Amino acid sequence: MDNFPRAKTAVVGAATFGIGEAHGYSSMEMAAHAGVEALKMAGLRTSDVDALFICLPFDAMSGISLAEYYGIHPKLTDNNRTGGSSSVSQMEHAALALEAGMCDVALITYGSNQRSATGKLQTPVGLGGVESVYKPRNPVSSYALAAHRHMHEFGTTREQLAQVALSARQWAKLNPEAFEQGNLTLDDVLNSRMVSDPLTVRDCCLITDGAGAMVMTRADKARDICKNPAYLLGAAAATTHMSISSMPDLTRTAAIESGARAYAQAGVGAADIDVLSLYDAFTINVLLFLEDLGFCAKGEGGAFVSDGRIAPGGQLPVNTNGGGLSCCHPGQYGMFANIEAIRQVMGLADKRQINDVNLALAHTNGGNLSSQATAIFGSSSTV
């Protein structure tokens, strides 16, 4: 058991910008817009920010760049580059810095114009020379290898994987911000273009633009500036590999470690969680994370998501914004997984709001199932 400062910090503002298509905006402009909107929600301005956390896709020093852009002189800048899991790691580190008095207002922001700029997923990665000669279409092929292994070991079916995409689309229809709103059927998922077997294009996340930001302060200040802060009860990360060929077991992710530590920090378990955000870059992710985070036994994820269990009206609400599969996926989806969990805790999820949310879990993923980071948010009743 570590000494994570449970509920000593909270998110007091969370905002998105340019979800879907944001023609004419640079990634920095999008991240800056989202940051200002999140600050406004908390009645704060950029001049109040003394810690900046950001990770723009192609600016390795974007923490400094954003400080210049905002014209502020923060005490702390951070460019955590663990891919889609970076924003949870940044919250973890912001909580420690806030608790230690190293800063008072932390802004965590992200933005990408990848759809309108290139139409392709933009992920600059190193290593991988021993893989790239075989031309996997990464990241899809890496996740496809994990999916096939899961099917082989546990009898998981493509129809079960498709249920994840169908549930996400149903949630998306309740979220005006979601990019994909059209009808989606089981046949659509199974018969759409195969990208890397067994994953079709509908098993894969969208490629969109989008920006998001979160503002964190210490809990005492949070209560003064926000009616319903989302208290950070736990945040933990773990990694097992970078390239898929170095993953020890393709059916067991480091979410087993990050989740266990986050639960211990928060003093809660899977059965206590009211709503979940799981980084669904691909349909297989949701099965793996439901299993690794203790919502069902290993190998039972496929059966678990059947019969609408994670769809609107189901027993366990998962990815209520529509997820990376139907809402948005601007290169790194972690920020958006967090924001949806925060909105659910704050009661700001409109038509898709789950009743009486006291505990929300956001689990994020970076690389090729490589980096796993789990955050648990609580309402004031959990403090």
Partner 1 sequence: MSNPIQAEKEYHKYLEQGRLMLLRDNESGKCMFYPRVVAPGTGSTDLEWVEASGKGTVYSVTTVRQRPPSPGYNVSLIDLEEGPRMMARVEGLAPDDVKIGQKVTARFIQEDDAALVVFDPV
| Residues found near partner 1 in the complex (CB under 8 A) | 129-131, 133-137, 141, 144-146, 148-149, 152, 193-198, 243-246, 250
Q: How far is the CB of 247 from partner 1 (least distance, A)?
A: 9
> In the complex with partner 1, which residue's Cβ is closer, 249 or 350?
249
Least gap, CB of 283 to partner 1 (angstroms): 14
How many helices (H) and strands (E) in the chain? Answer: 13, 11
- At residue 278's C-alpha, the angle toward residues 277 and 284, to 5°, is 150
CA distance 219 to 221: 5
Q: How far is the CB of 30 from partner 1 (least distance, A)?
A: 31
d(CA 117, CA 119): 6
Nearest to 95 by CA among 163, 180, 10: 10
CB-neighbour burial class of residue 134 (10 A; exposed 0-12, middle 13-18, buried 19+)? exposed
Least distance between partner 1 and beta carbon 85 (Å)? 21
Give the nearer residue to partner 1 in terms of CB position, either 27 or 243: 243
Tell me whether residue 233 or residue 244 sits nearer to partner 1 (CB atom).
Answer: 244
Q: How far is the CB of 188 from partner 1 (least distance, A)?
A: 17
Q: Give the burial class of 233: count Cβ atoms within 10 A of its Cβ; 0-12 exposed, 13-18 middle, 19 or more buried.
A: buried
Of 125 and 270, which has the nearer Cβ to partner 1? 125
98: which DSSP letter?
H
| C-beta of 44 vs 140, nearer to partner 1 | 140
CB of 136 to partner 1, least distance (A): 5
Whole-angstrom Cα distance, residue 305 to residue 162? 9
The answer to whether the Cα torsion of 377, 9, 12, 179 is positive or negative is negative
Min dist CB 129 to partner 1, Å, is 8
Q: Which of 61, 201 has the CB closer to partner 1?
A: 201
Residue with smaller CB distance to partner 1, 23 or 137: 137
Evaluated on CA atoms 2, 260, 311, 212, the torsion sign reads positive
